[in-house]
């Protein structure tokens, strides 16, 4: 199967999603360490995800592949794939403690392979369990402790484990240890679907799909907390064929003191910038003007960096795009993290249903560190009053209508609690 995307506004044909499961439960036990913005309802998050899937499939007639269900369906029909799934699960689970009991437990698991369903082994990949067995004298007195190690609680953000470029799939290497195992699961899917991976990011490089946006004749790549210099260089060497690439440096937020910067507020390029059509983009100008861009041109088989640098704001304007501005509060409420369905049609987050949660979370952060977040909260509260008075929370803004953009808003207050919107939750596997 060919996977390819040359422009963010080309018609979306096929998308991969993952409806969050048991791994999200473990993530919600400690949201901060799980890279979540805040606590939220897992039950309601799953319902919201169902709405997202339904809208994509029924409203826009997009081919939807669900990660877990696709793998299990094929594994149950194909003995070779099931055997591969089981092998990967065996490599993921660890038994320790009393050696005799640990050895026996592993042997029993292997013996019972035929009676355990494929979902059992997929859950092992999700949970990466450590089974600790300690015995005491007596009949079957065994202390059983099962530790779930680094749950892939962000797996439903299917944008990040890979990027789909003009060449094909580029496999990510995630920056944070909490997410490092996620590409192992998506890579398994690409192998099953026989979708070629044109490059796999290697250590010391890190690269995440939210930092890549195809723009037709050129592409944008973010560099910063999640994608490092080595990851960018590997992409330029092996993952892209665009004539021009703009490497966008993650900007320090001007409202947060430099010595206390918080890279989570604009962790990926698509958290403060996105493409709504072939002529209009959406972004927080405060960050666009502070984001430095290195420009690379393809010459022969490699890229050469221009001497001149610019800002993302000026670079995009120079390419002929109009910028639809959003406020600081809208950016923090995932306004720019919409999914472009086709030229001029977007699936957006209903921002006014998110802002109160975002403000409450920011107030909590200010209580802990007023110097770090005080100015950011003040601006967000100012934005809230202005947006209320105007009645123009994204995507219900006059600029959206003026540019002829058809916006379909979704209410996702729980899913966005994980730190992302519709763009982050979808792997756009095929456009055009």
Per-residue model confidence as pLDDT tens digits over 32-51? 999 999 999 999 999 999 99
* Portion of the chain with pLDDT greater than 90, in percent: 98
Given this model, what pLDDT does residue 1 score?
87
Q: Which contiguous run of DSSP H or E holds residue 273? A: strand 273-275
Instruction: Sheet with 63-66: list strands edge to edge.
Output: 63-66, 12-17, 427-431
Given this model, what pLDDT does residue 258 score?
87
* Portion of the chain with pLDDT greater than 70, in percent: 100
**Does residue 301 register a pLDDT over 90?**
no
Categorize the per-residue pLDDT at 87 as very low, low, confident or very high, splitting at 50, 70 and 90: very high
Q: Which contiguous run of DSSP H or E holds residue 220? A: strand 218-223
Mean pLDDT of 236-244: 97
Categorize the per-residue pLDDT at 213 as very low, low, confident or very high, splitting at 50, 70 and 90: very high
**Chain CA centroid to CA 352, Å:** 22
Is there a contact between 15 and 65 (Cβ–Cβ < 8 Å)?
yes
Instruction: Sheet with 94-97: list strands edge to edge.
Output: 94-97, 129-135, 142-148
Given this model, what pLDDT does residue 35 score?
98
Helix (H, G, I), strand (E, B) or coil at 14: strand
Based on its alpha-carbon atoms, the radius of gyration of the chain, rounded to whole angstroms, reads 23
Q: Let me know if 379 is exposed, middle or buried by CB neighbors in 10 A (0-12, 13-18, 19+).
A: middle
Distance CA 198, CA 126 (A): 25
Domains of the chain from N-terminus onward:
12-66+152-431 (3.75.10.10), 71-148 (no CATH)
Residue-wise pLDDT tens digits, 26-36: 999 999 999 99
**Does residue 300 register a pLDDT over 90?**
no
Given this model, what pLDDT does residue 139 score?
87
Structure tokens at 68: 């877990």
Distance CA 211, CA 219 (A): 11
Residue-wise pLDDT tens digits, 406-421: 999 999 999 999 999 9
């Amino acid at each position: 199967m060919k996977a390819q995307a040359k422009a963010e506004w080309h018609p979306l044909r096929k998308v991969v999603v993952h409806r969050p499961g048991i791994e999200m439960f473990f993530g919600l036990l400690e949201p901060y360490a799980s890279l979540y913005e805040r606590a939220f309802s897992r039950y309601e998050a799953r319902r919201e995800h169902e709405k997202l899937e339904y809208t994509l499939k029924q409203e826009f007639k997009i081919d939807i592949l669900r990660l877990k269900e696709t793998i299990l369906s094929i594994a149950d029909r194909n003995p070779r794939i099931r055997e591969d799934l089981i092998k990967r699960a065996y490599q993921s689970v660890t038994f320790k403690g009393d050696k005799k009991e640990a050895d026996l437990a592993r042997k029993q698991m292997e013996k019972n392979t035929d009676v355990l369903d494929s979902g059992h082994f997929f859950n092992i990949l999700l949970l990466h369990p450590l089974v600790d067995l300690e015995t005491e004298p007596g009949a079957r007195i065994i202390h059983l402790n099962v530790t779930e190690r680094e749950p892939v609680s962000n797996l439903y953000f299917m944008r990040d484990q890979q990027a789909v470029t003009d060449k094909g799939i580029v496999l990510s290497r995630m920056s944070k240890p909490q997410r490092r195992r996620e590409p192992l699961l998506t890579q398994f899917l690409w192998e099953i679907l026989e979708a070629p991976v044109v490059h796999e990011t290697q250590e010391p490089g890190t690269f995440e799909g939210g930092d890549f946006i195809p723009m037709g004749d050129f592409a944008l790549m973010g560099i910063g907390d999640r994608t490092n210099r080595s990851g960018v260089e590997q992409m330029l060497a092996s993952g892209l064929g665009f004539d021009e690439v703009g490497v966008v440096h993650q900007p320090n937020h001007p409202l947060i003191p430099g010595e206390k910067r918080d890279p989570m507020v604009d962790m990926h390029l698509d958290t403060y910038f996105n493409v709504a059509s072939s002529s209009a983009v959406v972004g927080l100008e405060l960050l666009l003007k502070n984001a430095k861009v290195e420009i690379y041109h393809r010459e022969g088989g490699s890229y050469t960096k221009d001497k001149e640098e610019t800002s993302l704001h000026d670079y995009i304007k120079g390419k002929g795009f109009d910028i639809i501005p959003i406020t600081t509060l809208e950016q923090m409420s995932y306004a720019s993290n919409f999914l472009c369905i086709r030229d001029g049609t977007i699936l957006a987050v209903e921002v006014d249903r998110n802002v109160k949660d975002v403000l409450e979370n920011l107030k909590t952060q200010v209580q802990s560190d007023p110097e770090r977040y005080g100015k950011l909260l003040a601006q967000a509260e100012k934005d809230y009053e202005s947006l209320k008075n105007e009645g123009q929370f994204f995507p219900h803004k006059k600029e959206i209508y003026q540019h002829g953009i058809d916006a379909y808003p979704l209410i996702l207050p729980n899913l966005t609690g994980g730190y992302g919107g519709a763009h982050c939750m979808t792997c756009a596997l095929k456009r055009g």
